[in-house]
Amino acid sequence: MDLVDPHGRTVRDLRISVTDRCNLRCRYCMPAEGMDWLARSDLLTYEEIERVARVCVERFGFTGIRITGGEPTVRAHLPVLVEKLAALGTDLSLTTNGATLRLLAGDLRAAGLRRINISLDSLRPEAFFAITRRHALEQVLDGIDAAVDAGFSPVKINCVLIRGVNDGEIVDFAAFGRERGVTMRFIEFMPLDADDGWAPATVVPGAEVVAAIDAVYPLEPFEVRGSAPAERFRYRDGAGEIGVIASVTQSFCGSCDRVRLTADGMFRNCLFAVKETDLRSILRSGGSDDDLAAAVAADVGGKWAGHSIGKVNFIRPDRSMSQIGG
User: Phi and psi for 254 in degrees, rounded to 5?
Assistant: -65, -20
Residue 17 and residue 69 in contact, taking contact as beta carbons nearer than 8 Å: yes
pLDDT digits (tens, 9 = 90+) for 247-281: 888 877 778 899 999 999 999 998 878 789 999 99
Look up the CATH number of domain 3-324.
3.20.20.70
Number of C-beta neighbours around residue 175 at 10 A: 17
pLDDT bin (cut points 50, 70, 90) of residue 85 is very high
Rounded Cα–Cα distance for residues 282 and 40 (Å): 18
Cα 304 from Cα 302, distance rounded (Å)? 6
pLDDT in tens, 114-173: 999 999 999 999 999 999 989 999 999 999 999 999 999 999 999 999 999 999 999 999
Domain boundaries defined on the chain:
3-324
Question: Which residues are 184's β-sheet partners?
Answer: 157, 242
pTM above 0.95, yes or no: no
Q: Which position has the higher pLDDT, 184 or 21?
A: 184
Q: What is the pLDDT of residue 179?
A: 97
